[in-house]
Amino acid sequence: RAPAMFGRMGQGTYWTGKTLAAIAHLMTIAAEAGEEDAARTLETLVRRRFLQWFTGAGPRFVFDRSTGSVLGYPEEFGSVAAMNDHHFHYGYWIMAAVQLARRDAAWAAPGAGGGMVGRLIADIATAERGRADFPFLRNFDPYAGHSWAGGDGIYFGHGNNQESSSEAVNAWAALVFWGELTGDRVLRDLGVYLYLHETEAVLQYWLDVDGTLL
């Protein structure tokens, strides 16, 4: 049934990434439950989908110098036209890559799948200022303490919005895991910073756990 999950809701960067992450997690669960045949079948599905997108055979990611961004086609939810939701979309891809890298460290190497994963990470969370390719922390607002999803600030007159804090948290958790798996301590620590600030913002601004905002 897993192959049928692809395309049920959409064919673009969001729904493909979300499906990839779900199947990759299921792969890990199957392996830990001793169902290695099922895990290998699921791994094959995940690998094929990554290969399809990473090599540009049909659906694809491309680097656009004019925007300083990795853009995915087909786009969904204005991810290209309005630069929306990149950390939501790419967070799922990175999390799926984490699960695959747990089984195959060689796949995570820069000369293999890890090279493109690194570009997705740089798109949403470059910590260096003044780079020629990607902007500093594209989606995260250090002053506000959380990320923004809208790329053009128009969102029905409500500014940049952040309609899915849980998906932002998922993206930053994926950075922590990827940094730990690949030995990139700088990335791991950046992921920890983003994760802790985003979750605290959710608790305070969205849930008002201390009862100070109402």
Please give the positions annotated as active site: 85, 163, 167
Give the residue among 153, 165, 142, 33 at the shortest CA–CA distance from 91: 165
3-state DSSP assignment of residue 63: strand
Number of C-alpha atoms within 13 angstroms, CB side, residue 131? 17
49 close to 61: Cβ distance less than 8 angstroms: no
Alpha-carbon distances of 133 from 9, 26, 50, 110, 184, rounded to whole Å: 32, 35, 23, 17, 20
Rounded to whole angstroms, how far apart are CA atoms 29 and 15?
A: 21
Outline where DSSP puts E strands in the chain: 60-64, 69-73, 140-141, 146-147
Tokens standing for 187?
Answer: 């990335």
Number of H helices, E strands in the chain: 7, 4
Alpha-carbon distances of 186 from 62, 70, 77, 88, rounded to whole Å: 25, 21, 31, 22
